Amino acid sequence: MKIVIAPDSFKGSLSAIEVTEAIALGVKQVYPEALVEKVPMADGGEGTVECLVNATGGKLYQHEVIGPLGEPIMAEFGIMGDEITAVLEMASASGLPLVPPEKRNPLITTTYGTGQLIKLALDYKCRKMIVGIGGSATNDGGAGMAQALGVKLLDKNGYELGFGGGELSRLSRIDISQIDQRIKKTEFMVASDVQNPLCGPTGASAIYGPQKGATEEMVRVLDEALLHFAYVINRDLGKDVKDIPGAGAAGGLGAGLMAFLDAELKPGIDIVISAVHLEEKIKDANLVITGEGEISESTIYGKTPVGVATIAKKYRLPVVSISALINESGLRVKDYGIDYLIKPENPPLHMEYPKSKTMRILTKTIAEFLQRLQLKP
């Protein structure tokens, strides 16, 4: 009997690796002879670097970069086991948690550090990159990222712009003559499930600006600045990124990555499934176990449990999903390939629990469920 365990993290509680180990212990209690394939997952957000590095036997690296407020911070990226594919999360260098609530101001926050991470990966001779772009503190359209890679964003007097989305309204000309030439030989995949365009009522500024500290007036200024940025990009680079779905991801970083790096935006779960060779591991299994911290309606939109279930159903395999919380709206996942939804009943999982206790609860819950299921090989 073969059982594949492929869950996401329980955010704020356990990493995907820890969830996987806890489930595996429960499986072994019931089926000690089973072949257990452990595949910690992610969907392009938090934990993607750890997931892909761990799955491929890669390495993690830490370097000092410029944070969202222009101050030095330590950020992390990984290189997968093939030694040519880098994986990074922009949140590590330009993420919202790096900015104290009282200092959040998307007029001035920058993606410069994300560009520095990309440059560092190029220095390590990586020629493929997977970039997760969730959780940003920025609204600069990827301008800072581009500047870190040698792009010059010039005002009408020929001076370079400063950091932040507010500066883009002064942009007169884009000069890419000094962009890092290694970019042309590098493939960029961007993990993003966001479909927002760059500008307008559903754009980066209007939808995500307020959570980054933008007032109503700031949203208006930022939206106009990104619209102007898109115009200059189209004029100087010949790329129309304004209305592409996903251009508004991470404060417009999606647009910047497409404009300056010719990046391809793809659902994060699809990138991870391919990178960890999930289908190859699933196709001869008897059961697949997945999960995430909370099952809700959003789970059907590119989250790990449904992504894993979609692969499993190609081979008509039963799928179990375990979570700490299951919202009523989350029951819709049963229409997307998940056969069994389970969660700990007494006590529920709490983020303030020690990790060891949370893992024991998961192990017990899985073991009790499998005993009831009576799976036949």
pLDDT class for 112, splitting at 50, 70, 90? very high
Please check whether residues 177 and 255 belong to one and the same domain: yes
d(CA 122, CA 124): 5
Q: pTM of this prediction?
A: 0.86
Residue 277 is assigned to a structural domain of this protein = no
Neighbouring C-beta atoms of residue 277, cutoff 10 Å: 12
Residue 318 is assigned to a structural domain of this protein = yes
**Adjacent-strand bridge partners of 77:** 61, 88
d(CA 50, CA 40): 9
Residue 157 is assigned to a structural domain of this protein = yes
CA distances from 63 to 74, 113, 292 (A): 6, 10, 30
Query: What value, to the nearest 5°, has the Cα angle with vertex 303 and ends 331 and 204?
Result: 115
Find the range with the poorest average confidence among 213-217, 308-312, 356-360. 356-360
The DSSP 8-state label assigned to residue 293 in this structure reads S
| Helix residue spans in 107-215 (DSSP H) | 112-123, 143-148, 204-208
Residue 301 is assigned to a structural domain of this protein = yes
Phi, psi of 162 (to 5 degrees): -85, -170
CATH number at residue 324: 3.40.50.10350
The verdict on whether omega for the bond into residue 101 sits within 30 degrees of 0, i.e. cis, is: no
Please check whether residues 258 and 315 belong to one and the same domain: no
CATH number at residue 102: 3.90.1510.10
pLDDT in tens, 245-283: 999 999 999 999 999 999 999 999 999 999 899 999 999
pLDDT class for 302, splitting at 50, 70, 90? confident
Final residue in a domain of this structure, among 224, 241, 268: 268
Give which of 377, 376, 369 is closest to 27, Cα–Cα. Answer: 369
Domain boundaries, position 115: 48-268
Final residue in a domain of this structure, among 241, 268, 295: 268
Q: What is the pLDDT of residue 325?
A: 87
Residue 274 is assigned to a structural domain of this protein = no
Report the sign of the C-alpha dihedral through residues 89, 362, 278, 316, in that order.
negative
Q: How many domains does the chain have?
A: 2
Q: What is the pLDDT of residue 257?
A: 98
CA distances from 61 to 58, 315, 367 (A): 10, 38, 37
Contact 261, 148 (CB under 8 A): no
Residue 336 is assigned to a structural domain of this protein = yes
Assign 320 to helix, strand or coil: strand
Q: What is the pLDDT of residue 237?
A: 98
